[in-house]
Chain A
Amino acid sequence: GQNIDQPTEMTATEGAIVQINCTYQTSGFNGLFWYQQHAGEAPTFLSYNVLDGLEEKGRFSSFLSRSKGYSYLLLKELQMKDSASYLCAVRDNYGQNFVFGPGTRLSVLP
């Protein structure tokens, strides 16, 4: 079966650091992706991990441990515009389709 878990909601303060966790159990694995989705808008691609370790991209970093079925998205120097849902998605073995997690709704407070 396919199962991806994320916290439903998180709150953080402007300028702070927040870590959004994702655990997955999927029948295959060919990469883990993070997307950002503002309310009423389409998801946009943030990051991609296929090997274990940390990928850094400006204020955003993503970590993967394949043996633990675990990833996190780290957001630094939070800004108000970072208030959005963050979706964790796993691509299947054949690189064809994605399984999306339920998303974590992040609220950044002043």
Chain B
Amino acid sequence: EADIYQTPRYLVIGTGKKITLECSQTMGHDKMYWYQQDPGMELHLIHYSYGVNSTEKGDLSSESTVSRIRTEHFPLTLESARPSHTSQYLCASSETGGLNYGYTFGSGTRLTVV
């Protein structure tokens, strides 16, 4: 069964470290997204991509960056992590033209910056 994978599932790192959160999907979806969600709070879109070499910033300002060199891969990088980056990061994808389908979400990465 096709799916969307995020690694790591949990990550605790020190302030100032550079980290990359991985997201890969095997469904051939053109569109991919990164959301940030604090516990019990709503989802906020931080980055999205409509295809290879296409990346856009979302509604919530973020110090992270993304890249889309391959269709299946959409990593998110924090150059210098801070405690304010502590949150859950959810990756999602959707197919172009599949208007009756929503997102498929990954399991998320729960990041703690100490």
Given contacts A45-B102, A48-B101, A96-B50, whether A87 and B107 have CB atoms under 8 Å apart is: no
Q: Are A97 and B45 closer than 8 Å at their CB atoms? A: yes
B99 within 8 A of A: yes
Q: How large is the interface on A (under 10, 10 to 19, 20 to 34, 35 or more residues)?
A: 20 to 34
Contact of A48 among B31, B45, B102 (CB under 8 A): B102
Bound-complex Cα distance A85 to B42 (A): 10
Residues of B within 8 A of A31 (CB): 99-100
A11 within 8 A of B: no
Contact of B90 among A42, A50, A102 (CB under 8 A): A42
Residues of B within 8 A of A15 (CB): none
Bound-complex Cα distance A100 to B35 (A): 11
Q: Which chain A residues have a beta carbon within 8 Å of chain B's beta carbons?
A: 30-31, 33, 35, 40-45, 48, 50, 85, 87, 89, 91, 95-98, 100-103, 105
